[in-house]
Structure 1
Amino acid sequence: MSLTTDRPDFPPLLDGRAVAGDPVEAAVRAAQGGADPGLVLFDPAAADMAVAMILAPEVPLSRAAVMLPLAALAFQNAMGSIGPSELPVHLQWDGAIRINGARCGRARVLVPETARDAVPDWMVMGVELRVVPEGDGGDNPDETALHAEGCGDLGPLDLTEMWARHALAWIHRWEEGGTGELHRDWSALAHGLGAPTEIGGGPGTFLGLDEELKMLKTTGAGTQMIPLTAMLEIR
């Protein structure tokens, strides 16, 4: 059964706007121009999923940076609600989204230049996901697309709507209860736990997250704690 409609149905607190082109770049321009938080931008004609949500943080950047794992976790929840229950979705600390072990997309968070202990003027979080395979889909075994993983009945707008709903729900849970639930649920989906990694700069081993969702990484010099702010994109 196809779930796709011509336009996603967003909850009352969110305002959807269709754009032609990259929703993330459109969201950054809108945020810089003073757009209200809760605006969700998407391209209804795109073959792949790309969605962005404008936020107005009320906490310092060091805390608001949890929107990166939150955005990725919301995508996994969206897939769990409308996709095959047996399809494994795992998350990398840098925002990459993996399906069946292969990279399929990424979560992103963009902010203006802001000190870690200052509140940013705006924030854009979004998700990009490859839906339709390129070529025969076998050129790079570490990359995949949603339709190559048995999800041919799901389209970008299905996921856009469900992602926005789950993202909004997670934001409310985080605001009310802090990072505990987010830490628990994200950690259960972590990709590469206990494995070598170069995320965060230089080789090391990914040990997990601290209570603020910093990456714990062992290197020859000891254990590093890498803040999520290192993964944000500055505009």
Structure 2
Amino acid sequence: MSEAPQFPPLFEGLALTGSADPFTKAQTQAIMGCNAGLVVYNLAADQLRAAIVFAPEVPLTDAMPVLISCAIGFQNALGALAPPEVAVHLDWSGGILVNGARCGRMRVAASTKDAKDVPDWLVVGLELPLIPANVDTPGDTPDQTALYEEGCVDVRPDELLGAWVRHTLVWVNRMEEEGLKPLNTEWRGLAHNLGEEIEWSLGETQEAGTFVGTDEHFGALLRSGEDTRLLPLSRLLEGDS
């Protein structure tokens, strides 16, 4: 049975139960003026869901790489707790891959979608299935998996959540102190489908092309024929802000 997660100083947990969605709740709390560092979470038997509230002091374009810090933080956290043979990679569009199959996702929302505005708040969410949704027919979705299907039955959700927040804090601090270069170096080694053809669903829009890399703010560069276009990281923002 999961215990209360242990968070670093200045982080505070808010536990939810039942079907309550931490990502939605975190945005509500942020709008109401909660402190940065609030971690809203729901640890169910079949999935781990959580969200962290941030209070950026820079324009949205410069704040969005916090999403990358959170994604790398999760990869580092699971990498430290899972057996060494478990491989974790990150999809630019937010997907998490464990041993090559999709296993949850990162989400992001902010108080604004204007690249030049300083957001009042930014929320990054994590959704991670622990057991398959279709336990009786796993062959129906061979490209999707769940954490316990990949040799991670000994990874406790509360420990993984605490580790995610701690590793994320390390990367957020490095980003603030050293800039984006260390983050970029780490992320490139974890990026899924880099240099390959991709198809991403971003809201109601489908994007396709060769994923050739990112710009200095982690916007995705997609090549189609002779043309290369930029998808800013803010394209991943959810909501109507």
Q: TM-score range by the shorter chain?
A: over 0.9
Partner of 1:142: 143
1:16-27 equivalent positions in 2, closer than 5 A: 16-20=13-17, 21-27=20-26
Residue by residue over 1:162-219, the C-alpha shift from the partner in whole angstroms, topping out at 9 and shown as x without a partner, is: 1011111111111111111111111101111121112364321011122221111111
Question: Are the aligned partners of 2:132 and 2:145 in contact in 1 as well (CA < 8 Å)?
Answer: yes
**Any stretches of 5+ residues in structure 2 without a counterpart?**
none
1:43-54 equivalent positions in 2, closer than 5 A: 43-54=42-53
Q: More deviation in 137-146 or 213-222? A: 213-222
CA distance in 2, matches of 1:144, 1:185: 24
Change (3 A) 1:197 1:165: same
CA distance in 2, matches of 1:50, 1:158: 13
Partner of 1:207: 212
Shift of 1:147: 0.5
Shift of 1:46: 4.8
For 1:13, the aligned partner's letter is L
Q: Deviation above 2 Å: which 4+ runs of structure 1?
A: 44-47, 198-203
CA distance in 1, matches of 2:198, 2:80: 30
Question: Are the aligned partners of 1:112 and 1:234 in contact in 2 as well (CA < 8 Å)?
Answer: no
Residue by residue over 1:48-106, the C-alpha shift from the partner in whole angstroms, topping out at 9 and shown as x without a partner, is: 11111111010100111112222111110001111112211111001100011111011
Partner of 1:174: 175
Length-normalised TM-score, structure 1: 0.93
Change (3 A) 1:208 1:74: same
CA distance in 1, matches of 2:121, 2:31: 8
CA distance in 2, matches of 1:13, 1:179: 23
1:10 and 2:15 equivalent? no
Shift of 1:32: 0.8
Number of equivalenced pairs? 232
Change (3 A) 1:173 1:48: same
Question: Are the aligned partners of 2:43 and 2:49 in contact in 1 as well (CA < 8 Å)?
Answer: no
Q: More deviation in 26-35 or 225-234? A: 225-234
1:119 and 2:118 equivalent? yes
CA distance in 2, matches of 1:179, 1:207: 18
Partner of 2:40: 41
What SS class does the counterpart of residue 98 from structure 1 fall into? strand
1:216 corresponds to which of 221, 229, 232 = 221
- Measured on the aligned residues, the alpha-carbon RMSD in Å equals 1.5
Partner of 1:81: 80
CA distance in 2, matches of 1:59, 1:9: 29
**Any stretches of 5+ residues in structure 1 without a counterpart?**
none
Length-normalised TM-score, structure 2: 0.91
CA distance in 1, matches of 2:139, 2:111: 38
Question: Are the aligned partners of 2:113 and 2:237 in contact in 1 as well (CA < 8 Å)?
Answer: no
CA distance in 2, matches of 1:221, 1:121: 39
Residue by residue over 1:90-131, the C-alpha shift from the partner in whole angstroms, topping out at 9 and shown as x without a partner, is: 110011000111110111111123410110111111211111
CA distance in 2, matches of 1:51, 1:23: 5
Shift of 1:138: 2.4
Partner of 2:152: 151
Partner of 2:238: 233
What SS class does the counterpart of residue 207 from structure 2 fall into? coil
CA distance in 1, matches of 2:139, 2:148: 13
Question: Are the aligned partners of 1:60 and 1:119 in contact in 2 as well (CA < 8 Å)?
Answer: yes
For 1:9, the aligned partner's letter is Q
